[in-house]
Amino acid sequence: MPKKQKETKTKTEKEQKIKVNKLKKEPVKKVHGTLEINLEQDKLMNSNEQKSNRLFAKICLFSGFLVLFCLLLNEFGIFVIDPVLMRIVCIASAILFFIPFVVVFLARSTGAWVKYFMITDILLIIIMLYSFLSYHVMMMWTFPLVASILYFDKKLMNFSTFISIVGIVIGHYLAATFLCLGDDPLRTVPAAMIYGALPRTILFLSIAYIARQVARKSSKMLTDTVDNSNEVGRMTGGIQMVMDQTQNMMNTRDIKSLAKAMAPSICTLMSSMLELDKDSIKNGIVSLLDGDRFYTVDAAGKPVDLCRDLGEEIGFEFCNARFKLSKFINGATSFAEVREGFVNLKFYNQGELKGFAVFKQDVDSDDYSMKEVLDIFTSGITNIINNTMLTYDMFRTQEQLAYSLAVVSENSSQETGQHIRRVSEYARVMGRFICETEEQLETFRIAAMLHDIGKLMIPKEIIEKPGRLTAEEFGVMKKHVIYGRDIIGTAPGEVMEMARHIILHHHERWDGTGYLGVSGEDIDQFARYVSVCDVFDALLSRRSYKAPWPAQKVYEEITSQSGRQFDPAAVEAFKKCYVEMLKIRDQFPDDDQDEVLLISDDSFDQAGPASQNQGQSVQDRRKQLPKIDVDPSIVTPISL
């Protein structure tokens, strides 16, 4: 490849890399089909002022050429005005007309002084034309006034009106003094003032009044447009926030979690709409119907015992005010109301009260946007409440199904006993290290129940064989992961979806020597943790083919297999959860004698459990747990 082509390619690659890095640094903001509008009147007026300056300057430029055209007509004899005087006045006027264009377009000057300068400049031109050339230019006295209307500026209009009146007086005085105005019959100063300046001033004032009213109305229309646009933008932003807040609550599985999520969401929504600090809205409650009672939380999402069942009504006291809400109202739908310093949201579905929210906050009763946004939020939350109840029922149905299958699996073998139940609880403890939410942790706990469901398809004589399995029998046993996945099949729901992966991979090894040969990160993450739970419980339990291992030996075996049989991260989680997992093992023993096998290093061969532990309580026997060299700081499980 030629050197020049290589350099071009290298340069292109660098530019692409810079562009990619720039995109990574600049996160894309998601907008849910909304229009962002936020007009500020000061900025809008400033923009109008700049545009008006440019328009005014162009008009002046055109007027300058028009004056020169009049000079040309006078030179050809069409006008009968003194040529010398005409030349002086027209050239001076043209120069003054060109000055605003120079200031605005060439010098690019900005600031409030520019418009005042241009109005004054135009007035000087009018005084010259009226005083020395012709009475017929009197219509130009309205020029500054009309020009000031472009700016929607009350002060500028007052300035234009005042200096125009002063200009009319000065113009008539000069015309009567120098007597250059050949077509004006007023030849004395008193006559010019009384019969010229006075009536024209009155006429000008009447025109100024009309122009002022037009400008005032136009200015009000502009202000209303800005206010309405800002209100639309405020409402649009509020609706967008409602969408964001409600979307975050759509995945809640139970009413209590929904109530805890709603409280801060309402605070965020109200503070944004009212342009207040989020922490300023502190007094509020959210209460949702959970079964046959109302579960209530405060603005921070903490449970509070507040509501009282009054039969057909719900009663409570909040912020020195008493409230009563009817449980049933025919045809009632969800709505929001603002009154007496409180914001009330009521969630009705088919006339039945599903919940409510009350916040102590002063809101203008005429705040239409706030009311509309709260109504939309209330309506959306009602749908989420209904969906949450359906989701909860579906999730519990999946749990019941998983539990029923687990019970069938337990009863199919006298050995496994409470194994499935214990593995489920181990998963709940260790799952805190990988689950992002309480909902996911609960899904993991239930899905773990089904890890060995495939053993239902394995002959009982293989499962309960007292000795080592033959290669052929072990081949049959290994198929239980496939059988289990097929039993679940395509059953819908998060629990079943997670269970499919756990069932298929829980016998895989980190080094790839497991049932299916899957290794490392390719093994489902949840299955890696269930694998540790499964082995931990199996080694501690009595089986037809082996005696239970002492707890110390089980701990050492699992930790020694980090990076070989088990995911190192799962082993670290096991170390931290070890003590809590031993307590779970004690809580769900296989039979009355099972606990002795766990807490004693002695096997049944040394002494019978009845003679050895007679008279000892469970608590006393737990004290005999072997001491294991584990850092106490790592045995406390973390919380989500």
Please say if the pLDDT value at position 5 is more than 60. no
Residue scoring higher pLDDT (401 or 255)? 255
Domain 250-390: give its CATH code: 3.30.450
- pLDDT tens digits, one per residue of 71-94: 898 888 887 788 898 899 999 999
* pTM more than 0.75: no
Per-domain residue ranges of the chain: 41-225, 250-390, 412-634
User: What separation in angstroms does the CA of 616 have from each of 96, 288, 626?
Assistant: 114, 48, 17
pLDDT at 468: 81
Residue scoring higher pLDDT (38 or 117)? 117
Pick from 37-41, 184-188, 367-371, 619-623 the range whose average pLDDT is largest. Answer: 367-371
- pLDDT tens digits, one per residue of 201-254: 765 665 666 566 666 666 676 666 666 666 677 777 777 777 877 777 776 777
Pick from 235-239, 392-396, 416-420, 442-446 the range whose average pLDDT is largest. Answer: 442-446
Question: Mapping DSSP to helix (H, G, I), strand (E, B) and coil, where does residue 354 land?
Answer: strand
Biggest CA–CA distance in the chain, Å, is 143
pLDDT at 618: 37
Contact at 8 Å (CB) between 129 and 140?
A: yes
- pLDDT tens digits, one per residue of 11-26: 445 454 444 344 344 4
Pick from 136-150, 341-355, 452-466, 565-579 the range whose average pLDDT is largest. Answer: 565-579
Q: How far apart are CA 154 and CA 341, in angstroms?
A: 38
pLDDT at 278: 66
pLDDT at 375: 84
Q: How far apart are CA 451 and CA 499, in angstroms?
A: 7
What mean pLDDT comes out for the span 145-152?
81
**Nearest in space to 71 (alpha carbons), one of 87, 60, 82, 54:** 87
What mean pLDDT comes out for the span 593-609?
38
Mean of the per-residue pLDDT values for the chain?
Answer: 77
Confidence of residue 99 (pLDDT cuts 50, 70, 90): very high
Confidence of residue 480 (pLDDT cuts 50, 70, 90): confident
Contact at 8 Å (CB) between 292 and 286?
A: no
Residue scoring higher pLDDT (519 or 640)? 519
Please say if the pLDDT value at position 631 is more than 70. no
pLDDT at 635: 35
**Nearest in space to 222 (alpha carbons), one of 369, 47, 34, 53:** 47
Confidence of residue 546 (pLDDT cuts 50, 70, 90): confident
- pLDDT tens digits, one per residue of 313-322: 888 888 888 8
Q: How far apart are CA 508 and CA 517, in angstroms?
A: 7
Residue scoring higher pLDDT (15 or 37)? 15
pLDDT at 412: 57
pLDDT at 39: 45
Q: What single DSSP character describes residue 296?
A: E
- pLDDT tens digits, one per residue of 494-544: 888 898 999 999 999 999 999 999 999 999 999 999 999 999 998 988 876
pLDDT at 103: 93
Residue scoring higher pLDDT (128 or 637)? 128
Confidence of residue 329 (pLDDT cuts 50, 70, 90): confident
What mean pLDDT comes out for the span 606-618?
36
Q: Report the amino acid identity of residue 595.
A: E
pLDDT at 349: 85
How many of the other CB atoms lie within 10 Å of CB of 288? 25
Q: What is the DSSP annotation of 216-274? A: HHHHHHHHHHHHHHHHHHHHHHHHHHHHHHHHHHTT--SHHHHHHHHHHHHHHHHHHHH
User: CATH: 3.30.70.260, 1.10.3210.10, 3.30.470.30, 3.30.160.250. Which one for 412-634?
Assistant: 1.10.3210.10
Q: Report the amino acid identity of residue 160.
A: S
pLDDT at 300: 83
